[in-house]
Protein backbone atom coordinates (compact mmCIF):
# COMPACT_ATOMS: atom_id res chain seq x y z
CA UNK A 1 0.00 0.00 0.00
CA UNK A 2 1.36 3.44 -0.90
CA UNK A 3 1.88 6.18 1.64
CA UNK A 4 -0.79 8.22 -0.10
CA UNK A 5 -3.47 5.57 0.51
CA UNK A 6 -2.62 4.82 4.14
CA UNK A 7 -4.52 6.68 6.84
CA UNK A 8 -3.76 6.59 10.54
CA UNK A 9 -6.00 7.10 13.53
CA UNK A 10 -5.63 10.44 15.34
CA UNK A 11 -2.51 10.46 17.49
CA UNK A 12 -0.86 7.66 15.52
CA UNK A 13 2.46 8.13 13.76
CA UNK A 14 2.77 4.67 12.24
CA UNK A 15 1.12 5.39 8.87
CA UNK A 16 1.19 8.21 6.37
CA UNK A 17 -1.70 10.57 7.08
CA UNK A 18 -0.32 14.09 7.34
CA UNK A 19 -0.03 16.74 4.64
CA UNK A 20 2.45 19.21 6.09
CA UNK A 21 3.13 22.59 4.57
CA UNK A 22 6.70 23.84 4.88
CA UNK A 23 7.61 27.49 4.19
CA UNK A 24 11.28 27.94 3.39
CA UNK A 25 13.90 29.21 0.99
CA UNK A 26 14.87 26.25 -1.18
CA UNK A 27 17.47 25.26 -3.79
CA UNK A 28 18.28 26.08 -6.51
CA UNK A 29 17.48 29.46 -4.99
CA UNK A 30 20.31 30.92 -2.92
CA UNK A 31 18.41 32.72 -0.18
CA UNK A 32 19.30 32.22 3.48
CA UNK A 33 18.43 28.84 5.08
CA UNK A 34 17.92 27.16 1.70
CA UNK A 35 20.27 24.30 2.63
CA UNK A 36 18.59 23.74 5.99
CA UNK A 37 15.22 23.76 4.22
CA UNK A 38 16.43 21.22 1.66
CA UNK A 39 17.65 18.72 4.24
CA UNK A 40 14.66 19.19 6.54
CA UNK A 41 12.20 18.63 3.68
CA UNK A 42 14.19 15.61 2.46
CA UNK A 43 13.74 13.91 5.83
CA UNK A 44 10.20 15.17 6.40
CA UNK A 45 9.01 13.68 3.10
CA UNK A 46 10.37 10.27 4.17
CA UNK A 47 8.74 10.29 7.61
CA UNK A 48 6.33 7.40 8.09
CA UNK A 49 3.51 9.69 9.28
CA UNK A 50 3.75 12.11 6.35
CA UNK A 51 1.70 11.56 3.22
CA UNK A 52 2.91 14.66 1.41
CA UNK A 53 5.00 17.75 2.00
CA UNK A 54 3.57 20.88 0.42
CA UNK A 55 6.67 23.00 -0.11
CA UNK A 56 5.86 26.72 -0.08
CA UNK A 57 9.11 27.79 -1.72
CA UNK A 58 10.59 31.07 -2.90
CA UNK A 59 10.43 32.30 -6.47
CA UNK A 60 13.99 32.77 -7.75
CA UNK A 61 15.82 33.45 -11.04
CA UNK A 62 17.46 30.02 -10.67
CA UNK A 63 14.30 28.18 -11.64
CA UNK A 64 11.74 25.94 -9.92
CA UNK A 65 12.45 24.20 -6.60
CA UNK A 66 14.61 21.10 -6.67
CA UNK A 67 12.42 18.03 -7.21
CA UNK A 68 12.14 15.55 -4.32
CA UNK A 69 9.95 12.43 -3.97
CA UNK A 70 6.88 13.00 -1.82
CA UNK A 71 7.18 16.79 -2.13
CA UNK A 72 4.83 19.01 -4.09
CA UNK A 73 6.41 22.42 -4.65
CA UNK A 74 4.24 25.53 -4.62
CA UNK A 75 6.09 28.76 -5.43
CA UNK A 76 4.41 31.09 -2.96
CA UNK A 77 6.69 34.03 -2.18
CA UNK A 78 9.62 36.09 -3.44
CA UNK A 79 12.46 37.76 -1.54
CA UNK A 80 11.72 41.46 -0.93
CA UNK A 81 8.20 41.27 -2.41
CA UNK A 82 5.57 43.28 -0.57
CA UNK A 83 2.91 40.73 -1.57
CA UNK A 84 4.38 37.76 0.32
CA UNK A 85 1.91 37.86 3.20
CA UNK A 86 -1.07 37.80 0.83
CA UNK A 87 0.50 35.20 -1.49
CA UNK A 88 1.33 32.83 1.34
CA UNK A 89 -2.10 33.22 2.89
CA UNK A 90 -3.80 32.42 -0.41
CA UNK A 91 -1.50 29.46 -1.06
CA UNK A 92 -2.20 27.93 2.35
CA UNK A 93 -5.97 28.42 1.94
CA UNK A 94 -5.83 26.81 -1.50
CA UNK A 95 -3.63 23.84 -0.57
CA UNK A 96 -5.25 23.19 2.83
CA UNK A 97 -2.34 21.37 4.51
CA UNK A 98 -3.05 19.77 7.90
CA UNK A 99 -0.37 21.97 9.48
CA UNK A 100 2.29 24.48 8.42
CA UNK A 101 5.88 24.76 9.60
CA UNK A 102 8.00 27.85 8.88
CA UNK A 103 11.81 27.79 8.54
CA UNK A 104 12.76 31.35 9.45
CA UNK A 105 15.33 33.91 10.39
CA UNK A 106 14.55 37.60 10.58
CA UNK A 107 15.64 38.38 7.01
CA UNK A 108 13.98 35.37 5.37
CA UNK A 109 11.43 37.36 3.38
CA UNK A 110 13.56 40.40 2.59
CA UNK A 111 16.35 42.74 3.53
CA UNK A 112 14.10 45.79 3.19
CA UNK A 113 12.26 46.81 6.33
CA UNK A 114 8.67 46.66 5.06
CA UNK A 115 8.94 43.51 2.93
CA UNK A 116 10.93 41.64 5.55
CA UNK A 117 8.56 42.63 8.35
CA UNK A 118 5.35 41.88 6.45
CA UNK A 119 6.58 38.39 5.56
CA UNK A 120 7.17 37.59 9.22
CA UNK A 121 3.46 38.13 9.89
CA UNK A 122 2.67 35.02 7.81
CA UNK A 123 2.73 32.53 10.74
CA UNK A 124 0.18 34.65 12.62
CA UNK A 125 -1.97 34.67 9.48
CA UNK A 126 -1.85 30.89 9.00
CA UNK A 127 -2.89 30.39 12.61
CA UNK A 128 -5.70 32.90 12.08
CA UNK A 129 -6.75 30.67 9.18
CA UNK A 130 -7.06 27.89 11.81
CA UNK A 131 -4.10 25.94 10.43
CA UNK A 132 -1.84 24.54 13.18
CA UNK A 133 1.39 26.50 12.85
CA UNK A 134 4.95 25.92 14.05
CA UNK A 135 8.13 27.91 13.51
CA UNK A 136 11.79 26.92 13.43
CA UNK A 137 13.47 30.22 14.32
CA UNK A 138 17.22 30.42 13.78
CA UNK A 139 17.96 33.82 15.31
CA UNK A 140 16.52 36.56 17.51
CA UNK A 141 16.30 40.24 16.67
CA UNK A 142 17.39 41.01 20.24
CA UNK A 143 20.74 39.32 19.59
CA UNK A 144 21.53 40.86 16.19
CA UNK A 145 23.83 43.87 15.86
CA UNK A 146 21.60 45.79 13.43
CA UNK A 147 24.37 48.10 12.20
CA UNK A 148 26.97 45.38 11.73
CA UNK A 149 24.49 43.10 9.95
CA UNK A 150 23.62 45.86 7.48
CA UNK A 151 20.05 46.51 8.63
CA UNK A 152 20.65 49.98 10.10
CA UNK A 153 22.92 52.81 9.02
CA UNK A 154 23.07 54.62 12.36
CA UNK A 155 22.75 54.00 16.08
CA UNK A 156 19.31 55.68 16.09
CA UNK A 157 18.05 53.48 13.28
CA UNK A 158 19.53 50.43 15.04
CA UNK A 159 17.39 51.22 18.11
CA UNK A 160 14.33 51.63 15.89
CA UNK A 161 15.08 48.32 14.19
CA UNK A 162 15.56 46.58 17.51
CA UNK A 163 12.17 47.86 18.70
CA UNK A 164 10.59 46.70 15.45
CA UNK A 165 12.33 43.37 15.91
CA UNK A 166 10.74 42.92 19.33
CA UNK A 167 7.31 43.71 17.87
CA UNK A 168 7.87 41.12 15.13
CA UNK A 169 9.08 38.60 17.70
CA UNK A 170 5.77 39.01 19.53
CA UNK A 171 3.99 38.48 16.21
CA UNK A 172 5.96 35.27 15.62
CA UNK A 173 5.00 34.09 19.10
CA UNK A 174 1.36 34.06 17.95
CA UNK A 175 2.17 30.75 16.24
CA UNK A 176 1.20 27.59 18.11
CA UNK A 177 4.86 27.00 18.93
CA UNK A 178 8.26 28.51 18.19
CA UNK A 179 11.28 26.20 18.22
CA UNK A 180 14.71 27.73 18.87
CA UNK A 181 17.96 25.84 18.40
CA UNK A 182 19.95 27.37 21.29
CA UNK A 183 19.03 26.79 24.98
CA UNK A 184 19.87 30.31 26.16
CA UNK A 185 17.66 31.79 23.44
CA UNK A 186 14.76 29.74 24.79
CA UNK A 187 15.44 31.00 28.31
CA UNK A 188 15.73 34.59 27.05
CA UNK A 189 12.40 34.55 25.16
CA UNK A 190 10.59 32.91 28.06
CA UNK A 191 11.86 35.52 30.52
CA UNK A 192 11.80 38.61 28.27
CA UNK A 193 8.53 37.93 26.42
CA UNK A 194 6.80 35.76 29.05
CA UNK A 195 6.20 33.22 26.29
CA UNK A 196 4.99 29.72 27.10
CA UNK A 197 5.02 28.32 23.58
CA UNK A 198 8.80 28.48 23.05
CA UNK A 199 10.57 25.14 22.81
CA UNK A 200 14.12 23.89 22.34
CA UNK A 201 14.74 21.91 19.16
CA UNK A 202 18.29 20.91 18.19
CA UNK A 203 19.66 22.16 14.88
CA UNK A 204 20.26 18.59 13.71
CA UNK A 205 22.92 17.25 11.39
CA UNK A 206 22.12 17.61 7.70
CA UNK A 207 23.00 14.04 6.83
CA UNK A 208 23.49 10.78 8.66
CA UNK A 209 27.01 10.32 7.33
CA UNK A 210 29.85 7.94 7.92
CA UNK A 211 32.83 9.04 10.00
CA UNK A 212 34.94 11.22 7.67
CA UNK A 213 38.68 11.25 7.30
CA UNK A 214 40.24 13.67 9.74
CA UNK A 215 43.50 13.84 7.77
CA UNK A 216 44.56 16.86 5.72
CA UNK A 217 44.14 16.10 2.01
CA UNK A 218 47.24 15.92 -0.13
CA UNK A 219 48.38 19.11 -1.80
CA UNK A 220 48.12 22.68 -0.49
CA UNK A 221 46.79 23.10 3.04
CA UNK A 222 43.46 24.80 2.44
CA UNK A 223 41.84 27.44 4.62
CA UNK A 224 38.12 27.58 3.83
CA UNK A 225 35.64 30.37 4.54
CA UNK A 226 32.02 29.73 3.55
CA UNK A 227 29.04 32.07 3.74
CA UNK A 228 27.19 35.12 2.47
CA UNK A 229 29.68 37.94 2.62
CA UNK A 230 29.83 41.69 3.04
CA UNK A 231 28.03 42.70 6.25
CA UNK A 232 29.00 41.12 9.57
CA UNK A 233 30.71 38.34 7.61
CA UNK A 234 33.67 39.85 5.78
CA UNK A 235 36.84 38.29 4.43
CA UNK A 236 39.20 41.29 4.50
CA UNK A 237 40.78 40.42 7.85
CA UNK A 238 41.09 36.77 6.79
CA UNK A 239 42.88 37.73 3.60
CA UNK A 240 45.23 39.96 5.59
CA UNK A 241 45.97 37.07 7.96
CA UNK A 242 46.54 34.78 4.98
CA UNK A 243 49.07 37.25 3.56
CA UNK A 244 50.93 37.18 6.88
CA UNK A 245 51.07 33.38 6.85
CA UNK A 246 52.43 33.29 3.31
CA UNK A 247 55.06 35.90 4.17
CA UNK A 248 56.18 33.64 7.03
CA UNK A 249 56.86 30.84 4.59
CA UNK A 250 53.41 29.34 4.11
CA UNK A 251 53.86 28.80 0.39
CA UNK A 252 51.87 25.55 0.62
CA UNK A 253 48.73 27.36 1.79
CA UNK A 254 45.57 28.08 -0.17
CA UNK A 255 42.63 30.30 0.81
CA UNK A 256 39.21 29.43 -0.62
CA UNK A 257 36.36 31.93 -0.23
CA UNK A 258 33.14 30.04 -0.93
CA UNK A 259 29.69 31.56 -1.26
CA UNK A 260 28.12 34.75 -2.50
CA UNK A 261 27.48 38.35 -1.51
CA UNK A 262 25.02 39.11 1.25
CA UNK A 263 21.83 40.68 -0.17
CA UNK A 264 22.85 43.81 1.78
CA UNK A 265 26.32 43.99 0.15
CA UNK A 266 26.01 43.45 -3.59
CA UNK A 267 29.39 43.57 -5.35
CA UNK A 268 31.43 43.02 -2.19
CA UNK A 269 33.26 39.84 -3.27
CA UNK A 270 34.04 41.24 -6.73
CA UNK A 271 35.69 44.27 -5.15
CA UNK A 272 37.70 42.07 -2.77
CA UNK A 273 38.86 39.86 -5.64
CA UNK A 274 39.94 42.89 -7.66
CA UNK A 275 41.84 44.39 -4.72
CA UNK A 276 43.73 41.14 -4.09
CA UNK A 277 44.43 39.99 -7.63
CA UNK A 278 48.15 39.71 -6.84
CA UNK A 279 47.70 37.20 -4.02
CA UNK A 280 48.70 33.65 -4.91
CA UNK A 281 46.52 30.79 -3.77
CA UNK A 282 43.40 32.93 -3.24
CA UNK A 283 40.29 31.45 -4.86
CA UNK A 284 36.64 32.51 -5.03
CA UNK A 285 34.17 29.72 -5.79
CA UNK A 286 30.93 31.68 -6.04
CA UNK A 287 27.74 29.85 -5.10
CA UNK A 288 28.35 26.25 -4.05
CA UNK A 289 25.71 23.79 -5.26
CA UNK A 290 24.54 21.12 -2.82
CA UNK A 291 26.36 18.34 -4.67
CA UNK A 292 29.67 20.21 -4.30
CA UNK A 293 29.46 20.94 -0.56
CA UNK A 294 31.12 17.68 0.53
CA UNK A 295 34.07 18.24 -1.81
CA UNK A 296 34.59 21.86 -0.66
CA UNK A 297 34.69 20.92 3.02
CA UNK A 298 36.62 17.71 2.38
CA UNK A 299 39.47 19.66 0.76
CA UNK A 300 39.84 22.00 3.76
CA UNK A 301 42.38 21.67 6.54
CA UNK A 302 40.59 24.30 8.62
CA UNK A 303 37.42 26.38 8.34
CA UNK A 304 37.69 30.05 9.31
CA UNK A 305 34.82 32.25 10.52
CA UNK A 306 35.88 35.89 10.02
CA UNK A 307 32.71 37.35 11.56
CA UNK A 308 32.38 40.60 13.48
CA UNK A 309 29.05 39.72 15.08
CA UNK A 310 26.64 36.80 15.11
CA UNK A 311 22.96 36.20 14.45
CA UNK A 312 22.56 32.80 16.10
CA UNK A 313 23.56 29.20 15.56
CA UNK A 314 25.81 28.70 12.53
CA UNK A 315 24.77 26.29 9.82
CA UNK A 316 28.26 26.49 8.33
CA UNK A 317 29.77 25.40 11.64
CA UNK A 318 27.43 22.40 11.67
CA UNK A 319 28.55 21.53 8.14
CA UNK A 320 32.21 21.89 9.07
CA UNK A 321 31.57 19.53 11.97
CA UNK A 322 29.83 16.96 9.79
CA UNK A 323 32.96 16.76 7.65
CA UNK A 324 35.30 16.61 10.65
CA UNK A 325 36.96 19.97 10.10
CA UNK A 326 38.66 22.12 12.73
CA UNK A 327 37.38 25.67 13.13
CA UNK A 328 38.93 29.07 13.86
CA UNK A 329 36.32 31.30 15.45
CA UNK A 330 35.91 34.90 16.65
CA UNK A 331 35.55 35.71 20.33
CA UNK A 332 32.33 37.76 20.09
CA UNK A 333 30.03 38.43 23.05
CA UNK A 334 28.44 35.16 24.05
CA UNK A 335 29.24 33.41 20.74
CA UNK A 336 31.91 31.22 22.35
CA UNK A 337 29.46 30.14 25.07
CA UNK A 338 26.81 29.36 22.45
CA UNK A 339 29.25 27.33 20.35
CA UNK A 340 30.54 25.35 23.29
CA UNK A 341 27.00 24.91 24.64
CA UNK A 342 26.24 23.05 21.41
CA UNK A 343 29.38 20.93 21.91
CA UNK A 344 31.64 22.54 19.29
CA UNK A 345 35.17 23.79 19.84
CA UNK A 346 37.69 25.91 18.00
CA UNK A 347 40.77 28.07 18.14
CA UNK A 348 39.67 31.61 18.97
CA UNK A 349 40.75 35.10 17.90
CA UNK A 350 39.59 38.66 18.49
CA UNK A 351 37.47 40.11 15.67
CA UNK A 352 39.27 42.47 13.25
CA UNK A 353 42.68 41.32 14.58
CA UNK A 354 44.50 39.95 11.54
CA UNK A 355 47.63 39.04 13.52
CA UNK A 356 45.53 37.18 16.09
CA UNK A 357 43.67 35.36 13.32
CA UNK A 358 46.97 34.37 11.71
CA UNK A 359 48.18 32.97 15.03
CA UNK A 360 44.95 31.02 15.53
CA UNK A 361 45.22 29.55 12.03
CA UNK A 362 48.86 28.60 12.66
CA UNK A 363 47.92 26.92 15.94
CA UNK A 364 45.62 24.60 14.00
CA UNK A 365 47.54 24.16 10.75
CA UNK A 366 50.91 23.50 12.40
CA UNK A 367 49.69 21.17 15.15
CA UNK A 368 48.31 17.95 13.69
CA UNK A 369 47.06 16.65 17.04
CA UNK A 370 45.22 19.89 17.82
CA UNK A 371 43.67 20.03 14.35
CA UNK A 372 42.45 16.44 14.52
CA UNK A 373 41.11 16.79 18.07
CA UNK A 374 39.06 19.83 17.07
CA UNK A 375 37.77 18.05 13.97
CA UNK A 376 36.70 15.01 15.98
CA UNK A 377 34.95 17.11 18.63
CA UNK A 378 33.10 19.14 16.00
CA UNK A 379 32.06 15.97 14.20
CA UNK A 380 30.63 14.57 17.43
CA UNK A 381 28.75 17.82 18.11
CA UNK A 382 27.35 18.11 14.58
CA UNK A 383 26.22 14.50 14.24
CA UNK A 384 24.97 13.87 17.76
CA UNK A 385 21.33 14.42 16.76
CA UNK A 386 20.46 13.51 13.15
CA UNK A 387 17.98 15.59 11.19
CA UNK A 388 15.59 12.64 11.07
CA UNK A 389 15.13 12.87 14.86
CA UNK A 390 14.58 16.64 14.71
CA UNK A 391 11.95 16.11 12.00
CA UNK A 392 10.25 13.42 14.11
CA UNK A 393 10.11 15.84 17.05
CA UNK A 394 8.27 18.40 14.90
CA UNK A 395 5.89 15.80 13.48
CA UNK A 396 4.92 14.78 17.02
CA UNK A 397 4.25 18.39 18.01
CA UNK A 398 2.20 19.09 14.88
CA UNK A 399 0.22 15.89 15.43
CA UNK A 400 -0.57 16.95 18.99
CA UNK A 401 -1.84 20.31 17.74
CA UNK A 402 -4.10 18.55 15.25
CA UNK A 403 -5.41 16.13 17.86
CA UNK A 404 -6.17 19.04 20.20
CA UNK A 405 -8.17 20.77 17.42
CA UNK A 406 -10.22 17.62 16.83
CA UNK A 407 -11.29 17.23 20.44
Task: Examine domains 3-204+385-406 and 221-383 and report if their fold is the same.
Answer: yes
Region 3-204+385-406: CATH code:
3.40.50.2000
More confident site: 113 or 65: 65
Per-residue model confidence (pLDDT) at position 11? 39
How confident is the model over 8-21, as a mean pLDDT?
Answer: 62
With contact defined as beta carbons under 8 Å apart, do 347 and 360 qualify? yes
DSSP state letters, 180-221:
ESSHHHHHHHHHHH--SSEEE----BSS--PPPP-SPPSSSE
The Cα-based distances of 31 to 59, 64, 73, 262 in angstroms read 10, 14, 16, 9
Let me know: does 132 contact 398? Beta carbons within 8 Å. Answer: yes
| Residue 62 CB partners (closer than 8 Å, separation 6+) | 27, 28, 29, 30
**Mean pLDDT value of segment 295-319:** 84
CATH number listed for the domain at residues 221-383:
3.40.50.2000
User: Is 101 in contact with 23 (CB distance < 8 Å)?
Assistant: yes
Structure confidence by residue, pLDDT tens digits, 364-392: 999 999 999 999 999 988 887 888 999 99
Greater pLDDT, 384 or 234: 234
Q: What is the pLDDT of residue 87?
A: 97
- What integer is the mean pLDDT of 235-257? 94
pLDDT digits (tens, 9 = 90+) for 162-193: 788 899 999 999 999 999 988 888 989 999 99
For residue range 24-82, what is the model confidence (pLDDT) as tens digits? 999 998 888 898 999 999 999 999 999 999 999 999 998 889 899 999 999 999 999 99
Q: Where are the domains of the chain?
A: 3-204+385-406, 221-383
Residue 90, CB half-sphere, CA atoms under 13 Å: how many?
Answer: 9
Give the mean pLDDT of 236-246. Answer: 96
Q: Is the pLDDT of residue 311 over 60?
A: no
- DSSP code string of 249-275: T-TTEEEEEEEEE-TTSTTHHHHHHHH
pLDDT of amino acid 151: 55
By mean pLDDT, which of 197-201, 210-214, 230-234, 365-369 is the weakest? 210-214
pLDDT at 297: 94
Closest CA to 301 of 229, 359, 370: 370
- pLDDT of amino acid 145: 57
Q: How far, in Å, are 135, 193, 294 from residue 67 at the CA level?
A: 23, 39, 20
Please state, as a whole number, how many other Cβ atoms lie within 10 Å of the Cβ of residue 157.
Answer: 14
Selected residue with higher pLDDT from 213 and 127: 127
Q: Who's near 222: CB < 8 A, 6+ residues apart?
A: 253, 254, 255, 256, 299, 300, 301
For residue 314, pLDDT over 80 is answered with no
pLDDT at 13: 41
What is the DSSP annotation of 356-398? HHHHHHHHHHT-HHHHHHHHHHHHHHHHSSBHHHHHHHHHHHH
Q: What pLDDT does 310 receive? A: 65
Q: What is the mean pLDDT of residues 344-350?
A: 91
pLDDT at res. 6: 38
Amino acid sequence: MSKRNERAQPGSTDAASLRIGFVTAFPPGQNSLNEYGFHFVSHLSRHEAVEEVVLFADETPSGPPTDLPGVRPVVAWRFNALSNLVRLGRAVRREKPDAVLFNLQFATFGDTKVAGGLGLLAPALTRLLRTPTGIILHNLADNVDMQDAGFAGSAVMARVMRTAGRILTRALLLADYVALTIPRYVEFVRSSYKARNVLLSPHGSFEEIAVPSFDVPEGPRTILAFGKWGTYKTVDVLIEAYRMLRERGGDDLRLVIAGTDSPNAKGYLASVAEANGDLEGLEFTGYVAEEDVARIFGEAAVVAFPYTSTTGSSGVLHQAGEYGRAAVLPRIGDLVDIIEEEGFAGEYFEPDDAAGLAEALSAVLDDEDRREALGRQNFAAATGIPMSEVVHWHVIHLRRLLDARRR
